[in-house]
């Protein structure tokens, strides 16, 4: 297994005469951001910022340095796009030269990984104060004593204001480029102010590093029953499928909302904060998140009334991908430190834009591996550059954009852990019902919460099920608080013939996608019926 050496910024990176302000307290970062015109205070105390022309991640502009040390461990392709070491070094020189001419920069030092046995030290250098505040809310803050002899494992250098005038010179496609080196342990962010690139670059790093430590990295949220610490739940899913919303439960303690590791001891959060979508956010629907938006949190691209400064969460004037970042401790029932035992339930979240998958179904071990590998969902508007409406999408392991290693490596880690710990696995559709996107409507949040409550409360485990004829999924005959016809996706469509055609269409797409995986006949047979 590849072993990489940590590098200190003092040995690899020089910022010339630029003054570096290190680990600035929250109140001072906000004061700096306001004075520099980087944002404004909303009425609830949050710092409201605009990310410019990029209001989501830029996956087409993300590159990985292709070095001999890591080449054989990477699933090269559309997600993991190679960049030569020469191009990476040239880009790094440009970034350092540009930032060395700035009057001052900001530095944040913190951890990724709540379990000290598996955490990585991260240093983030930024031009803007609000980006440093973002890092301070998303990563785990280090104690003062730990900072005295700090030697980071990973370095992020954010030059968001720099635009590449000659992209080909650096192996890039355009003015924006996010370049990552697993060998040099460095991330370079150029041309985009979207702060989520910093967060996801370290998740990408953990997805490479943790398997070498025999830890399963996961794109999921996690919570645990407040009275029963053995009742741990995981919620896998891509952005917009409900990970943050469903894990924020008043009756359960939140471990984390997006990124976790599963070791031989249990589950731990990789982050120290949450990054929630806040489009159509309401106090009634998501009170925990609503109350977490206060001084010390950061709103991204949210419309703010110019007079009252009250956020308009229903507005998508800038983007559907409006976001808020806050420390996990801002959630009243946060579990600190963010660790828990082995999960009793594992829930795969999918936002089905076809509108044909059942709202909830129980998976066999073979189906669990099949649906995990395929990672079907819909890309939702605004989460990536160029996505303006939901698009059916297969994202391996429910986190394909962040997985450097081959998908089978992660799927086998999931298979082994659910078998060892007896975890039940479920598929929960938070997408469309009664028709596809544009015709049907999204499942009511109240129904989705009822499904989750039935899963976590144990009643669904012993329910009676029927088998879907196309997808082979076990659908419960009844769930408390949900009308029976909602459970049958075909019954919600006015045009049953149209449903059958759309279901067969999606089933065929599954089969076309699963052909890329070398799985056992049993796992292959767990997929949908296309005959």
Could you tell me whether strands 104-112 and 19-22 are parallel, antiparallel, or unpaired per DSSP bridges?
parallel
Instruction: Point out the residues that are catalytic.
Output: 57, 200, 219, 239, 243-244, 258, 323
Mean local confidence (pLDDT), 224-228: 96
How far is residue 247's CA from residue 235's CA, in Å, rounded to a whole number?
7
Query: Could you count the other beta carbons within 10 Å of the beta carbon of residue 134?
Result: 29
How far is residue 208's CA from residue 306's CA, in Å, rounded to a whole number?
44
Q: What is the pLDDT of residue 81?
A: 98
Per DSSP, the three-state class of 502 is helix
Per DSSP, the three-state class of 23 is coil
Q: What is the pLDDT of residue 239?
A: 80
How far is residue 275's CA from residue 4's CA, in Å, rounded to a whole number?
29
Half-sphere exposure of residue 219: CA atoms within 13 angstroms, side-chain side: 32
Per DSSP, the three-state class of 424 is strand
Query: Could you count the other beta carbons within 10 Å of the beta carbon of residue 151?
Result: 13
Q: Are 312 and 282 in contact, with CB atoms under 8 Å apart?
A: no
pLDDT digits (tens, 9 = 90+) for 3-14: 333 333 344 789
In eight-state DSSP terms, residue 356 is -
Q: What is the pLDDT of residue 196?
A: 97
How far is residue 499's CA from residue 478's CA, in Å, rounded to a whole number?
22
Sole residue written with tokens 């609000």? 130
How far is residue 349's CA from residue 13's CA, in Å, rounded to a whole number?
41
Identify the H or E element spanning 410: helix 407-421
Q: Are 277 and 240 in contact, with CB atoms under 8 Å apart?
A: yes
> Distances from the Cα of 136 to the Cαs of 112, 129, 261, 273, 514, in angstroms?
11, 11, 20, 9, 40
Q: What is the pLDDT of residue 8?
A: 38
For residue 87 the two structure tokens come to 């191009």
% pLDDT > 90, the chain: 92
Phi, psi of 274 (to 5 degrees): -125, 150
Question: Is the pLDDT confidence value at 506 over 60?
Answer: yes
The CA-CA-CA angle for residues 50, 324, 403, to 5°, reads 95
* Torsion sign across C-alpha atoms 336, 338, 343, 349: positive
The DSSP-derived string for 74-136 is: --BTTTB-EE-HHHHHHHHHHHHHHHHTSSEEEEEEEEE-SSTTT-EEEEEEESSHHHHHHHH
Question: Is the pLDDT confidence value at 210 over 50?
Answer: yes
pLDDT digits (tens, 9 = 90+) for 302-323: 999 999 999 999 999 999 999 9
Quickly state the pLDDT bin for 484 (edges 50, 70, 90).
very high
Q: Is the peptide bond before 337 cis (omega within 30 degrees of 0)?
A: yes
Q: What is the pLDDT of residue 385?
A: 65
Sheet holding 298-300, edge to edge: 39-41, 47-49, 298-300, 323-327, 273-277
Q: What is the pLDDT of residue 474?
A: 98
pLDDT digits (tens, 9 = 90+) for 400-459: 999 999 999 999 999 999 999 999 999 999 999 999 998 999 999 999 999 999 999 999
Question: Is the pLDDT confidence value at 156 over 60?
Answer: yes
Cα dihedral: 8, 11, 12, 13 (round 10): 90
For residue 382 the two structure tokens come to 């605004």
Per DSSP, the three-state class of 377 is strand
> Distances from the Cα of 461 to the Cαs of 362, 372, 425, 456, in angstroms?
8, 20, 10, 9
| Residues 6+ positions from 486 with CB-CB distance below 8 Å | 359, 433, 443, 447, 492
User: What domains appear along the chain, each with residue ranges and CATH number?
Assistant: 19-39+57-212 (3.40.449.10), 232-250+343-525 (3.90.228.20)
242: left (phi over 0), alpha (psi -120 to 50) or beta: left
| Residues 6+ positions from 68 with CB-CB distance below 8 Å | none
How far is residue 314's CA from residue 309's CA, in Å, rounded to a whole number?
15
pTM: 0.93
How far is residue 499's CA from residue 360's CA, in Å, rounded to a whole number?
18
Query: Could you count the other beta carbons within 10 Å of the beta carbon of residue 483?
Result: 11
Q: What is the pLDDT of residue 384?
A: 62
How far is residue 443's CA from residue 429's CA, in Å, rounded to a whole number?
8
Question: Is the pLDDT confidence value at 211 over 90?
Answer: yes
Q: 432-468 as b/e, with b when 16 or more CB fall inside 10 Å?
A: bbbbbbeebebbebebbbbbbbbbbeeebeeeeeeeb
Q: What is the pLDDT of residue 389?
A: 64
pLDDT digits (tens, 9 = 90+) for 41-62: 999 999 999 999 999 999 999 9
When the pLDDT of each residue in the chain is averaged and rounded to a whole number, the result is 94
How far is residue 224's CA from residue 341's CA, in Å, rounded to a whole number?
9
For residue 455 the two structure tokens come to 């899963």
Q: What is the pLDDT of residue 382?
A: 61
Quickly state the pLDDT bin for 189 (edges 50, 70, 90).
very high
Per DSSP, the three-state class of 467 is strand
Phi, psi of 98 (to 5 degrees): -65, -50
For residue 118 the two structure tokens come to 């598996």
Q: Are 49 and 378 in contact, with CB atoms under 8 Å apart?
A: no
Q: What is the pLDDT of residue 6?
A: 35
pLDDT digits (tens, 9 = 90+) for 359-397: 999 999 999 999 999 999 887 666 666 666 667 789 999
Long-range contacts for 517-525 (Cβ within 8 Å, ≥24 apart)? 517/373, 517/407, 517/408, 518/408, 519/369, 519/370, 519/373, 519/408, 522/366, 523/366, 523/369, 523/370, 523/373, 524/370, 525/366
Q: What is the pLDDT of residue 379?
A: 73
């Amino acid at each position: 297994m590849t072993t990489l050496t940590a590098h200190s910024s003092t040995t690899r990176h020089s910022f010339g005469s630029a003054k570096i302000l290190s680990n600035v307290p929250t109140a001072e970062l906000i004061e700096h951001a306001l004075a520099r015109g980087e944002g404004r205070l909303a009425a609830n105390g949050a710092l409201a910022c605009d990310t410019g022309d990029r209001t989501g991640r830029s996956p087409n502009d993300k590159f990985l340095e292709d070095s001999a040390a890591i080449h054989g461990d990477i699933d090269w392709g559309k997600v993991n796009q190679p960049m030569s070491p020469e191009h990476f070094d040239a880009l790094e020189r440009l970034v350092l030269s540009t930032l060395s001419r700035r009057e001052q920069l900001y530095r944040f030092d913190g951890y990724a990984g709540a379990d000290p046995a598996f955490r990585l030290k991260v240093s983030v250098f930024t031009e803007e104060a609000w980006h440093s505040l973002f890092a301070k809310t998303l990563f785990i803050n280090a104690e003062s004593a730990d900072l005295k002899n700090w030697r980071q494992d990973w370095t992020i250098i954010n030059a968001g204001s720099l635009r590449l005038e000659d992209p080909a010179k650096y192996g890039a496609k355009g003015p924006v480029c996010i370049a990552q080196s697993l060998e040099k342990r460095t991330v370079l962010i150029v041309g985009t102010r979207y702060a989520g690139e910093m967060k996801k670059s370290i998740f990408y790093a953990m997805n490479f590093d943790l398997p070498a430590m025999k830890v399963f990295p996961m794109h999921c949220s996690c919570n645990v029953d407040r009275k029963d610490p053995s009742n741990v739940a995981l919620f896998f899913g891509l952005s917009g499928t409900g990970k943050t919303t469903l894990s924020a439960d008043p009756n359960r303690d939140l471990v984390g909302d997006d990124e976790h590791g599963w070791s031989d001891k249990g589950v731990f959060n990789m982050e120290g904060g949450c990054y929630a979508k806040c489009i159509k956010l309401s106090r009634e629907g998501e009170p925990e998140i609503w109350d977490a938006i206060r001084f010390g949190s950061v709103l991204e691209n949210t419309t703010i009334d110019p007079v009252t400064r009250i956020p308009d969460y229903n507005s998508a004037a800038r983007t559907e991908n409006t976001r808020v970042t806050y420390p996990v401790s801002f959630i009243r029932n946060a579990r600190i430190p963010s660790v828990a035992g082995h999960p009793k339930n594992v829930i795969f979240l999918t936002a089905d834009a076809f509108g044909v998958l059942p709202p909830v179904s129980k998976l066999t071990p073979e189906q669990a591996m099949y649906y995990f590998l395929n990672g079907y969902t819909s890309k939702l508007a605004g989460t990536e550059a160029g996505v303006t409406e939901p698009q059916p999408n297969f994202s391996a392991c429910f986190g394909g954009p962040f997985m450097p290693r081959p998908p089978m490596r992660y799927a086998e880690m999931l298979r082994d852990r659910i078998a060892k710990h007896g975890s039940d696995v479920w598929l929960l559709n938070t997408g469309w019902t009664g028709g596809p996107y544009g015709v049907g409507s999204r499942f009511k949040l109240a129904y989705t919460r009822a499904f989750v409550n039935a899963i976590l409360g144990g009643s669904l485990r012993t329910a009676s099920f029927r088998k879907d004829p196309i997808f082979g999924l076990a659908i419960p005959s009844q769930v408390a608080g949900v009308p029976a016809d909602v459970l049958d996706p075909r019954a919600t469509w006015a045009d049953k013939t149209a449903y059958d055609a759309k279901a067969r269409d999606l089933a065929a797409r599954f089969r076309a996608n699963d052909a890329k995986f070398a799985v056992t006949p049993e796992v292959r047979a767990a997929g949908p019926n296309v005959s």
